[in-house]
Amino acid sequence: MPDASGPDASGPAQSDQFAQMVDDRASEGQFRIDRRMYDDEAVFEAEMERIFEATWMYVAHESQIPNAGDYIWTEVGRQPVIINRLDDGSVSGVINACSHRGALLTANRQGNARVLVCRYHGWTFKSSGECIRIKDEAAGFPNGVDKSCYNLTPVPRVESYKGFIFACLNPDAPTLTEHLAETRPFIDMLADQSPEGMEVLPGSAAYVVDCNWKLQVENGVDGYHVGVVHRNFAQTVRRRNEINGASGMKLTENARFDPGAVETACYDLGNGHNIIWSDRGAPEAAPLYEAKDKVLPEVGQEKWDWMVGRGRNLLLYPNLFLMDQSSTQIRIIQPLSASSTEVRVYCIAPKGESVQARTARLNKFRDFFLTSGLATPDDSVALEDTQAGVGGRLAKWSPFERGQATEIKGPDAHARLLNINPVASNTPWDLETIFVGQYRRWAELMAART
Amino acid sequence: MSLVTDAEIRLQYEVERLIFREAYLLDNRMFDDWLGLYLEDAEYLMPAWINETTLATDPNAELFLIYFPTKAGLDDRVYRINTRDSYASAPMPRSAHVIGNVLILGGDQDRIEVTCSWTVHQYADRKGPRSHGGRYDYVLERGTDGLKIAKKHITFLNDRVDIPLDVYNV
């Protein structure tokens, strides 16, 4: 664990206070967190600085910026950034703020701009950030000016893994590869679904939930709520399947909603990352199933069985989910304040899939993954109720202790088949092993000097 | 502009009566009656925004917030609400639709294209009041028992929303 004794922006006393919010006595059977971490603005500010602006953050998928000049404006922590493709084909990033007065440099959330022209005073920059024009330069600087002093501020590090672009504002952070730890084989299970690559489908949806970001981050890998909160989803799609006599991709697979019906497990993948998975009761319902002849020879039987035979919720700590369930989703958790969080969602799909598979994928995406669907609204309101409840100061602690007796250090048999090496494994998927990993990572990052 | 004919006034009234009735039935949670306003093969669409100015147009290639190719999708929604087991829908928020600018754009007596503007005022105990709105584009068709909804296309102005959306509050 990094040394927390030295001075930092918020002072060592506050770091100690954060450390005490995770009561980690797992060896004595106790692991609990102080619920103030869900609604304290001082904690939130420190999280932005020490987590979101200090580690690798997902910013975009390469398919969203295929051509030179294509850009996306997004946020890393609280910082507005432009992620763009340069003329040499590489992906880069600058802080989205003019070097002159700080105005945003893009009118739109995404677009194409070979040069960035500030709409306030007209200063102009190459997409790499190099300042190439200062309006009325000769009049303002009769003795000349070195425009290179006014380049845009670069995002210190921007790197891709298998099409997923990550940015890091901290030049001293470990490499992206180190950061991703044991998540890479699971990212591959999504990224390798088409020899032609994956694409983010047009259209995004965003919803704001009045809860702390960590409640969203727990919820995306919380197998425990599935049979409760989503019981009515399962009931609704089961009825629909029966009415339609649905088979193949028309079927909405729902075995995971019945405890014990299929095999499930969860893995702590290190650095706060984790995954929960469940066997699909009907793999042929997965939109990828049609690609068997194309993909199986590329990836081999064992990986194919993982890809199409198991639904997977993968968390890349702190705020990215790659979901491969009835449909496939990129879910980005963007904190707005201690008690408000924006969730941005995209459908990601294999390039070149059939119209039938694409249609089924989008149908199932709308059903489950949108705040206008049959499931996500129930999560959102449950999380808002939780946020309201954690404000009750006399009820201070949330326990994460279910599953300690059955936890395996290292991989289980399924992970071993693919030479994946989790920190810890547990079955079924709804045990709380993975949250221990999340909150240990939280404590580690929050204790670090920035 | 040419003079308004009696037939136009009658059609305008008939169209408005149907559209206002839909809002009334939704706000009063009379879902079975509401389903009765739709043809069996009615299409129901609410696209996502592709960017600041463009709505998705192809529900089988782009993201839609809601898309039902037939009335069965509406029936699913009513079934789910009636389970009383949906966290988001129990208790249900209160809502009031306000519809205006009802304009017949084309068609004939038996197949009518209509556009109008809508807002929904909503109140949920934990969230307080919320308002949102947009445009409805309808295709209405005349059958043996009067006008029915053959297609409803909802333009939802937000691309970010802080309340769950369902058939009763859009």
Residue B124: closest CA among chain A residues belongs to which residue?
Answer: A381
| Percent of chain B with pLDDT strictly greater than 90 | 94
Residues A42-56 have a mean pLDDT of 97
CATH C-level class of A192-447: alpha beta
The fraction of chain A above a pLDDT of 90, given in percent, is: 89
In chain B, domain spans: 6-156
Per-residue pLDDT at A9 exceeds 60: no
What's the whole-number mean pLDDT along residues A233-261?
Answer: 89
A426 touches chain B (CB under 8 A): no
Residue B48 sits at the chain A interface (C-beta within 8 Å): yes
Question: Which residue in chain B is spatially nearest to A389 when comparing CA positions?
Answer: B126
Mean pLDDT of A51-76: 97
pLDDT of residue A5: 41
What are the pLDDT digits (tens) for A196-239? 999 999 998 999 999 999 999 999 999 999 999 999 999 999 99
Q: Quote the mean pLDDT of chain B.
A: 96
Amino acid A449: pLDDT = 61
Q: Is the pLDDT of residue A8 over 90?
A: no
* Domain ranges (residues) in chain A: 57-161, 192-447
Residues in A touching B125 (Cβ below 8 Å): none
Residues 28-87 of A with CB under 8 A from B: none
Please report where in the chains the tokens 């307080």 appear, as a residue: B128
Given CA atoms A368, A306, A315, A16 in this order, what sign does their dihedral have?
positive
Q: Give whole-number Cα distances, A281 to A67, A221, A264, A308, B80, in Å.
A: 41, 19, 11, 11, 23
Would you state the pLDDT for residue A78?
Answer: 95
The answer to whether A425 touches A407, Cβ cutoff 8 Å, is yes
Cβ(A134)–Cβ(A140) below 8 Å: yes
> Which of B62, B65, B87 faces A201 most closely, judged by CB atoms?
B62
Is B64 close to A378, i.e. CB distance below 8 A?
no
Compute how many other C-beta atoms are within 10 angstroms of the C-beta atom of residue A257: 20
Neighbouring-strand partners of residue A341: A209, A335
Contacts of A102 (CB under 8 A, 6+ apart): none
A232 closest CA partner among B31, B164, B90, B35 = B90
pLDDT digits (tens, 9 = 90+) for A330-375: 999 999 999 999 999 999 999 999 999 999 999 999 999 999 999 9
B51 interface with A at CB cutoff 8 Å? yes
Residue A291 confidence (pLDDT) above 70? yes
Cα gap A149→A349, rounded to integer Å: 43
At the second CATH level, the architecture of B6-156 is Roll (3.10)
Tell me the fold of A57-161: Rieske Iron-sulfur Protein (2.102.10)
Interface contact B160-A209, CB threshold 8 A: no
Residue B7 CA, distance from chain mean position: 26
**Nearest Cα residue in chain B from A370:** B65
Averaged over B89-113, what is the pLDDT?
Answer: 96
A366–chain B Cβ distance below 8 A for any pair: yes
ipTM of the complex: 0.96
For A248: left if phi > 0, alpha if psi spans -120 to 50, otherwise beta; the answer is: left
pLDDT tens-digit readout, B58-68 = 999 999 999 99
